[in-house]
Structure 1
Amino acid sequence: MAIGTVDTSSLTQAGLNLIQQALSIYDSDLRLAVSNARFQEMFDLPKALVTPGAAFEDTIRFLVDRGEYGAVEDVEEAVKIRVEQARAFEPHYMERIRANGQVISVEGNPLPTGGWVTVYTDITAIKAQEKLLRARSEELSDQVLTHAERLSQTNRELAATITALEETKRQLTETEARTRMTTQMMPAHIAHVDRDGRYTFSNRRLSLVLPDRPTDVLGLHISEALGQNAYSHIAPYLARALEGDASVFEFTHEDSSRRIRVAFTPDSREGPINGVYILSMDITEETQARAALTQTHKRELAAQLTSGLAHDFANLLTIILGMQSRLSRMDLPEEAQNLVGATQSAARRGGALLDRLAEMSGHREARPVATDIAALLEEIELLAQPNMPENVTLKIGHEELSSPLLIDPGFLQDSLLNLLLNARDAIGDAQGAITLNARAIRDTWLEISVTDSGPGFSEKALKHALDPFFTTKGVEGSGLGLSMVYDMTKSAGGHVMLANKSGARVTLRLPLRWAATDPTPGLVLLVEDSPDIRTSVREMLVEIGHSVIEAATAEEGEALAVMPGIDLILSDISLAGGRSGVEMLEALRSRDVKTPAYLMTSLPMADPVRRSAADRFPLIGKPFTARELGGFLSAEDAA
């Protein structure tokens, strides 16, 4: 058998059995952990008392009952005294004569984990020799003999003490090594300086906190180790610590732009202040995260403060847009028509303002409407061309996209303008060209690609260009452009692809949905508790070709919804009477009413009620125009 496979405990026990002295080890619960064969033989103990786990108290009681300690009047009291002495775990050395006349020495030492080890030595022969020496030596005086005996005993006690001290030294050395290793593993600088400001201890981690500073700082003055920049920040706190005032503070290290947290603790273990303990760590990432969290809280607070106002404002804009839509269909003078157009434009700008407020806590939702792609691309070219330098040629075209598509024109316009400006920046001062082309792919996707003649994407950019805050423009770029394009495209159900094709190419694919040029008229159940908003939405529905019946509460809506001939239901979320539009539609669904159902709301996008409703039913946010409402209903019906 190989040495590595031998049971270590068996080897240890075999070795202990070869020792001529008796040995026992009891743990902190006064239970036998280890003993050798000589221990059982010396005291003639039964096997139960030399089996690991045997109680020390039972062994003492057995020895007392057998007369090991002479005549004892109160056995239990004698056992109790010895057990209490054992629990004290004090080093001891003693010699005693057993009942059988044998003389033994008893040497005990506590263990660092609790309990103790005891060695029993038969010194009967030694004592007999000493007695014989006394009897036969007439030359030695009684005083010399006594002194020799005392010296012999003292030497034995001294040897036991030296053994205990060596064990204590070993334990202290191990503890110090573990402590030093622990401090060196910590991602912080731990040190001690004396009253003169010179390092007496360091875990050699200063350079981790302050780059380019020395690692070995023992004996250096703290100003020399830290540098004047950092020292100027900590000097006042160090002076206060040397006066006995502990402190924790933070400062920004200008040389490295790191945020550092420092703790000073006065060293007053022996009365007067002997120096200062130092703990310092780099908290730059923590500070950045804290700042970001604070900004998020500010944005959330702003969203909460504006949500109520936004709700009412959205309702007012819905009414205004509805009334202006009615006015625009009247036979009004040209000047009045211009005023109507201006009012509608102002109302739409108000809607855009609401979208910007909503973006404080979330992205704006897509609103697909019937859109002429050719006209939209022409408008994009008009907006982009003035921003192109003379060295860059812009070409925009499309293939077989003559019919209107259901898309969000605002989303698409923002995305494409962003891509065109990115392509312009990539070309720089060189002569170059940008091409934008749109086409339909297998009646499934609307594909729009933007290609430039610049240097193309780097390997890193191909992997990370769609990540927020990634930029190749240095301090001039926010890193949000392509990320915004990606978010808007994903929210519309599409995806973005990056490639190098004689330059950089970004391809957007959006779901291809042809808009119905002649929407099928139907009977709409409109459920809205505000009369003014109900009137405006009714006019919009009529404008896009529908007939309308109205209800003001969830109860009225639920009763009317089961009438024959209802083609779709459009309800606000918030209704008078205690029940919401969502609860009404859920009740109809439970009654197996199959009529297509839609929701509208003025609640901001971050509102949990709106989010929950949008997960269950198609939803459009107020304000909206008749065109946007028609696009919403057509898109959802197509989906």
Structure 2
Amino acid sequence: MARSDATAQMTRAGLNLIQQALSIFDSNLRLAVCNRPYQTMFGLPQHLVTPGAPFDETIRYLATTGEYGAVEDIDAFVQVRVDQARDFVPHYMERTRSNGRTISVEGSPLPGGGWVTVYTDITSIKNQEGLLRARSEELSDQLLTHAEELARTNRQLEATIAQLEEAKRGLAEAEARTRLTTEMMPAHIAHISRDEVYLYTNRRLSTLLPGRRADITGLHFDDALGPALARRLRPFLHKALDGSACVYEFTDADSGRRIRTAFTPDTTDGGAYLLSTDVTEETQTREALAQTHKRELAAQLTSGLAHDFSNLLTIILGLQSRLEKTPLSDAAREMTAATTAAARRGGTLLDRIAHISGPRELAPAPVEMRRFFENFAALARAPLPDHIDLSITQSLPEELLMLDEGSLQDSLLNLVLNARDAIGAERGTITLRAHKVRDTWFEIVVEDSGPGFSREALAGALDPFFTTKGQAGSGLGLSMVFDMAKLSGGNVTLANHQGGARVTLRLPLRPVPADAAQPKLVLLVEDMPALRVSVREMLTDQGHQVIEADNFTEALTLSDLPAIDAVLSDIKLPGHTTGVDLLERIADQRPDLRLALMTSLPETHPLRARGAARWPVLSKPFNAGQLHAVLSQEVAP
């Protein structure tokens, strides 16, 4: 707090503690300072005790409310008082108010203009004086002494009461500020006694854990959180109650949210403070980042081995080709053919290893889930034999969700094909269900009527190269599904149900941001008509409007249109100028636009590297999801 603010606050508190009402008006007849007894003594509204309140309005209000008794001409009465104030002279007077109370009014001018007036309620003093005058002959000296002591005690008591009232008001204001501050925090703050009863809460529990009460003050730990969750957290609460601070992260079973709770001992009364925050998005990001690091490490470990192994396979295939040209017995030809097939399978396996461990980025785009499952149903039924039925049900929200549609489609198709292989030649059913888990996740559950997972499969089916299909499987299908889920910030779980296997894919529920779903006017710059038509259709399918240009000059002219929201240009344009040159010119003139490039140039090309240093670059060919992801990025600085 600044020194001037602290001084002003102490001054106000001091003025409020004195028994008399006080007001200070400046030379312009406007209120400069007053204390709280001034307002309460005369019953003034708030606007008349606010600095700057006019003196004449205060007198008019008091005259109207009967403070001065019956006043026939209020305007004339107010004018007389204003004139007296302009010609202010020191004065002291006593007057009886309309309510029968007697006050003394003492006014003094100030050196810089204006005046200060002190109002004192002297009713009790007047009553005592009257009593003493009436019975002075009958009172003894001892009684007079007692009366004086009683009056002095009463004055001390009144001062103490005023101090207590001021302290009470100060505490109430501080508590209100504290309450407002804590309730604005995006976290749950609570204080728990040694008996595990909530003594304080900022009423934010229901925002972290939907379904719980907001105000849990006075409730027991079990009643506020529920027996199951309270049982999980109680060991950490007891640590805090015993004097040891600790932090615990848990996933709420009902909502699926990840919550981090800090338990801090209260050294004053032996209780504990709890601070709980929702770290669901942080956990999702952390999981995605950890999976990315694992992929990078796997790529580093396998790249060298894969290169050498690829060379060995090439040598083996070359030698086998030479052997096949030589006269061989039937048994030798059979072995040569088997060796060749094994070497080629090894090459296919290398391609899959490169895919699962190499660089991979998801490109989330708005997806309408009803349409997604309608399209997926047609795709998934195609490879299924007639004796296997596919059932798809979904209850996801109608709004668009941000997803990498292609990766999710590949993952679900992989699960359906695995279920098909598990059912085999018997008649069976594959069921796919999608539903929301509170407002945090959505789950897609794939079940089949096959024999279910073995104990070994439940433990290791998500690991790379684990397979129960023998030579027919690579062991990379489920691990690729797991990889996609982790990169999205989700997870995959395996289980058995009464009728077969169950795979649950849990992904973050991320509705499309309002800005991302908003249609834009996009300036598309591409000199090849066929490519321009293809990209234009992608943009219009996403709800955008498109204007087109096929050269630098035309595009630069169109970019001046105020309605333009984004520019997407090919790097190579006709003539000596490039798309990079175009965006540099536009960025100087319109820094508010979203700018992006597209190209078929390799990443090592200098022109591409120059553009990528400032803007997103789409590698041709690209899909609608990648295009949307680029147009949804923040404006480059």
Q: Fold conserved (TM > 0.5)?
A: no
For Structure 1 versus Structure 2, the TM-score category normalised by the shorter chain is 0.3 to 0.5
RCO higher in 1 or 2 (8 Å CA, sep ≥ 6)?
Answer: 1
TM-score w.r.t. the length of structure 2 is 0.36
Compare CA radii of gyration and give the structure with the larger one: 1
